[in-house]
Amino acid sequence: MKSFAYVKATNVEDAVRAITAEPGAKFLGGGTNLVDLMREGIERPDTVVDVTGLPLNTVEELPGGGLRIGALVRNSALAADRRVRTRYPMLSQALLSGASAQLRNMATVGGNLLQRTRCPYFYDGTSACNKREPGSGCDALDGFNRGGAILGVSDSCIATHPSDMCVALAALDAEVEVRGLDGTRRVPLADLHALPGDTPEIETTLAPGELITAVELPPAPVAANSRYRKVRDRASYAFALVSVAAALEVREGTVSQVRLALGGVAPKPWRAREAERILLNGPADEAAFRRAAEAELATATVRQGNAFKPGLAKATIVATLRELSRELSTEGAGR
């Protein structure tokens, strides 16, 4: 690991100033991704600005039943928050399906939003990777791409965004609060991450020096009946092959509200708007779930190693919606 200067920020303004003054500086949260990348020589910051001392580690009520989550709230604390577990169970489940207990105890919400892909060619310094070294090519296209993306990809990059938490946040219409030198702005989570296009090295719409300070969840009663389903190669401590965050409300057999987002299939947390459009105001049955899933995956682009993903994604969407609709009818019968 390259030597670096370490600065501990004591307030948000100082943190932003410190990082803006130093072009080779990086914010350090829990360090569960950044430190790894520094060890591998992929990130080589000259200065690390430790933001973990900033007062951004609480979960607060918003008017109307929403929540404001400080950027430094640890993943394990957020997953355990009673309000999150009852109002947004998919978010709690998504957090708990990620990484390991030790990592969740360290990882912050802000860091989770900005974690980088686990594509093996990104991690291996000798491989061609347009994300790590723009213009060098992409060894993943014809290499090991079992984990690779199938939606929103380009010829220059098929890396997936690895976060579970972000998939739930995408489904929940979360907004991200960002502080820069010019003040505070708000970015819808759906607009935070960039698709690769010809510039896969640009992963977010954040300006240099901007610090994520909070994530806000608007009220979403539909999310009380929600779940996060993660499909992976072992029972724990593995990234998603496919994941589904879904919330469903059914009135008299008709879908009255639906939220659907996918993980493991795209360079960003993937809100399945096409599937939602087809489901809304339609029947809540297996055939409709299947039609919606087919429509969402219609534009999937596969490579040899991930050709199974559209089928797996569709099966997982249908299974998750089926479970949610069954739970609703069981609850209804119980009333």
Partner 1 sequence: MTVTQSEAVEERATGTTKYVGQSVDRLDGPAKTTGKARFSAEFPYPGLTYAAVVHATISRGRITAIDTAEAKAVRGVVDVLTHENTPPMKPVPKGIPTSMNAVFSAMLSGTSVNYLATDEVHWNGQPVAVVVAETPETARYAASLVRLTYRELPATLDFAAEEPKAEPQKGGLMGGASTDKGDAPAALAAAAHSVDLAFSTPPHNHNALEPHATTAVWDGDRLTVHDSTQGISGLRKHLSQRFGLPEKRIRVLAQYVGGGFGGKGSFWAGTLLAVLAARATGRPVRLSLTREGVYHTVGGRTPSTQRVALGAGADGRLTALLHTSVSRLGQVGGMPENITGSSRHLYACDNIQLRQSVVRLDLLSNTFMRAPGESIGSFAMESAVDELACELGMDPIELRARNEPERDPVGGKQFSNRRLVEAYRVGAEMFGWRERDARPGAMRDGRWLVGMGVATAYHPQMLMPANATVRIDAAGKVVVQCGLHEIGVGAATAQAQIAADELGVPLGSVRVEHGDSDLPQAPFAGGSVQTASAAAAVVAACAKLKRTLLGLARRSAASPLRGRRLEELEVRDGGLYHGGRGQTYAEILAGAGRGHAEAVIKANMLGFVAKTVRDTRRYVKAASGAQFCEVRVDPDTFEVRVSRWLGVFDVGTVINTRTAESQLRGGIVMGIGMALSEQTLIDGRDGRIMNPSLSEYHVPVHADIPRIDLHCLNEPDPISPLGVVGVGEVSITGAAAAVANAVRHATGKRVVDLPITLDKLL
Taking CB under 8 A as the rule, does residue 296 contact partner 1?
A: no
**Helix 309-334, helix 286-296: angle, nearest 10:** 150
Q: Which of 274, 241, 250, 239 lies closest to 260, judged by CA?
A: 274
- 237 lies in the site for partner 1, by CB under 8 A: yes
**Which residues, numbered 215-234, are part of the site for partner 1 (CB under 8 A)?**
231-234
The three-class DSSP label of residue 188 is strand
Site for partner 1 in 77-106 (CB under 8 A): none
Residue of 238, 277, 295, 328 interacting with partner 1 (CB under 8 A)? 238
What Rg value do the Cα atoms of the chain yield, rounded? 20
Among 12, 202, 312, 328, binds partner 1 (CB under 8 A): 312
Least distance in angstroms from the C-beta of 187 to partner 1: 30
**What residues from 2 to 31 belong to the interface with partner 1 (CB under 8 A)?**
2-3
Report the residue number, 126 or 330, with the smaller CB distance to partner 1. 126
Strand order in the sheet with 47-50: 5-8, 47-50, 25-28
Closest CA to 186 of 200, 176, 201, 194: 176
Identity of the residue, 33 or 213, whose beta carbon is nearer to partner 1 in the bound complex: 33
Instruction: Determine which residue in the list 235, 252, 330, 335 makes contact with partner 1, applying CB under 8 A.
Output: 235
Residue 277 makes contact with partner 1 by CB under 8 A? no
- Map residue 319 onto helix, strand or coil: helix
Q: Is 133 in the site for partner 1 (CB under 8 A)?
A: no
Which class for 214: exposed (0-12), middle (13-18), buried (19 or more C-beta within 10 A)?
buried
- Residues 143-202 binding partner 1 (CB under 8 A) are 143-144, 146
Contacts of 25 (CB under 8 A, 6+ apart): 18, 19, 45, 46, 47, 48, 49
> Given the rule CB under 8 A, which residues bind partner 1?
1-3, 41, 118, 120-121, 124, 126-127, 139, 142-144, 146, 231-238, 241-242, 308, 311-312, 315-316, 318-319
